[in-house]
Amino acid sequence: MERVYNFSPGPACMPLPVLEKAASELVNYGTAGMSVMEMSHRSKAFLDIIQEAEKLLRELMGIPGNYKVLFLQGGASMQFAMVPLNLFKNKKADYVKTGQWASKAISEAKKFGTVNVVASSEDKIYSYIPDLDKNKFSKDADYFYITLNNTIYGTRFTELPQTDAPLVTDWSSGILSEVIDVSKFGLIFAGAQKNIGPAGVTVVIIREDLIGHALDITPTMLNYKTQADDESLYNTPPTYAIYMAKLVFEWLKGLGGVPAVQKINEEKAAMVYGFLDNSKLFKGTVVTKDRSIMNIPFVTGSEELDKKFINEAKAAGLVNLGGHRTVGGMRASIYNPMPVEGVKALVDFMKKFEFENK
């Protein structure tokens, strides 16, 4: 069985050279005489891995020295609670509601304080990024929260909100896909299973002054200070996932880093959008200016044809093209590891399908 092109939103496809390298080291890592899976998280061999992973991520993203990088468990969803628990002082925050993940973050923050939803795109099934009116921002918000890339609906912020409160973002489905200025953010978090590696590790990049003020009720494990003081080694971290992340960071560096992969990502996205904009059968569902370069939702207008497309694409080795279970239609997730050939194969298949279903 050959490998397929996997358009899954996450866990998503991994770079083949990374899988091959991991396979070659699976049973015996370097001179350790054992797999990374079998190592103590306090061993020198593993400490070298986690330190190198952090160093590479800092280099790739240009993370300033006054930020901590944490490798945590609990997924991006755990951050929905950790952010308010750690950042609430006035117990008030501004949120932009751009989809299901933002909504879940809002519900969680409401357990610990007041949430001001400054804008929402719910009225049009989150198919755009709402304009932000500064007059609606809270004067005393502890932070301002956005989901930079919306995995399910395929939107992304192309401009950052102008806010005095620390900017917090869930960048699970966009991290390392394009260049950003980390210093504009107070906190960035991302689940690994799209652009970083396998599921199991969540990266948190946090400005140091935001650490150490957690609410009294914060459990030890959910306090950024615990994790920062012990360099993500307070307890056993997801060692193998961190090792895989390190391999992905090395691969990305070898490609030429984030600017190089951004260029490829823009080309890949332009191939799909270019086709969608000229198709008589397929239609993108997001307003042009807010389109994601990672997740591309589209429809034919007929549920029956959508199903047929997904099934026939699967038979042709293009898998996981179904839209999120709550929105239907199709979605192509084309994260960093998706090769240009995979996107080309998808567009060729869409052309063929359109011709056969005129």
- Output the CA torsion 66→64→237→52 (10° steps): -130
Give the binding range for ligand PMP (CB under 6 A) out of 27-35, 75-83, 222-230, 285-293: 75-83
Instruction: Determine, following the binding rule CB under 6 A, whether residue 75 of this chain makes contact with ligand PMP.
Output: yes
In whole angstroms, give the CA distance from residue 331 to residue 322.
6
Closest separation in Å from C-beta 173 to ligand PMP: 5
Closest separation in Å from C-beta 76 to ligand PMP: 3
In whole angstroms, give the CA distance from residue 193 to residue 186.
23
Which among 334, 332, 320, 307 is positioned nearest to 4, based on CA atoms? 320
Active site residue 171: no
Q: Which residues contact 69 (CB under 8 A, 6 or more apart)?
A: 54, 57, 58, 63, 203, 204, 205
Instruction: Determine, following the binding rule CB under 6 A, whether residue 172 of this chain makes contact with ligand PMP.
Output: yes
**Candidate residues 121, 147, 177, 333; the one interacting with ligand PMP per rule CB under 6 A:** 147
In whole angstroms, give the CA distance from residue 223 to residue 133.
32
In whole angstroms, give the CA distance from residue 325 to residue 329.
9
Instruction: Determine, following the binding rule CB under 6 A, whether residue 276 of this chain makes contact with ligand PMP.
Output: no
CA atoms within 13 A on the CB side of 323: 19
Active site residue 110: no
Radius of gyration of the chain (CA): 21
| Residue ranges in 174-233 that form contacts with ligand PMP under rule CB under 6 A | 191
Tokens 């993203």, residue located: 61
Instruction: Determine, following the binding rule CB under 6 A, whether residue 94 of this chain makes contact with ligand PMP.
Output: no
Closest separation in Å from C-beta 204 to ligand PMP: 12
**Candidate residues 101, 144, 251, 353; the one interacting with ligand PMP per rule CB under 6 A:** 101
Name the residue number minimizing CB distance to ligand PMP: 75
Q: Count of CB atoms within 10 A of residue 298's CB?
A: 25
Catalytic residue of the set 170, 251, 268, 306: 170
Angle between helix 44-61 and 257-278 (nearest 10): 60
Active site residue 194: yes
Catalytic residue of the set 194, 251, 290, 306: 194
In whole angstroms, give the CA distance from residue 296 to residue 228.
36
* Nearer of residues 79 and 239 to ligand PMP, judged by Cβ: 79
The residue count for binding ligand PMP (CB under 6 A) is 12
Instruction: Determine, following the binding rule CB under 6 A, whether residue 8 of this chain makes contact with ligand PMP.
Output: no
Catalytic residue of the set 101, 246, 268, 290: 101
Closest separation in Å from C-beta 80 to ligand PMP: 8
Instruction: Determine, following the binding rule CB under 6 A, whether residue 170 of this chain makes contact with ligand PMP.
Output: yes
Instruction: Determine, following the binding rule CB under 6 A, whether residue 10 of this chain makes contact with ligand PMP.
Output: yes
In degrees rounded to 5, what are phi and psi of residue 131? Answer: -65, 150
| Residue ranges in 289-328 that form contacts with ligand PMP under rule CB under 6 A | none
Q: Count of CB atoms within 10 A of residue 240's CB?
A: 21
**Candidate residues 151, 195, 320, 333; the one interacting with ligand PMP per rule CB under 6 A:** 151
In whole angstroms, give the CA distance from residue 272 to residue 78.
33
Joined together, the tokens standing for residue 229 give: 């003081």
Give the binding range for ligand PMP (CB under 6 A) out of 21-29, 70-78, 121-129, 299-307: 70-78
Q: Which residues contact ligand PMP (rule: CB under 6 A)?
A: 9-10, 75-77, 101, 147, 151, 170, 172-173, 191
Q: Which residues are catalytic?
A: 101, 170, 194
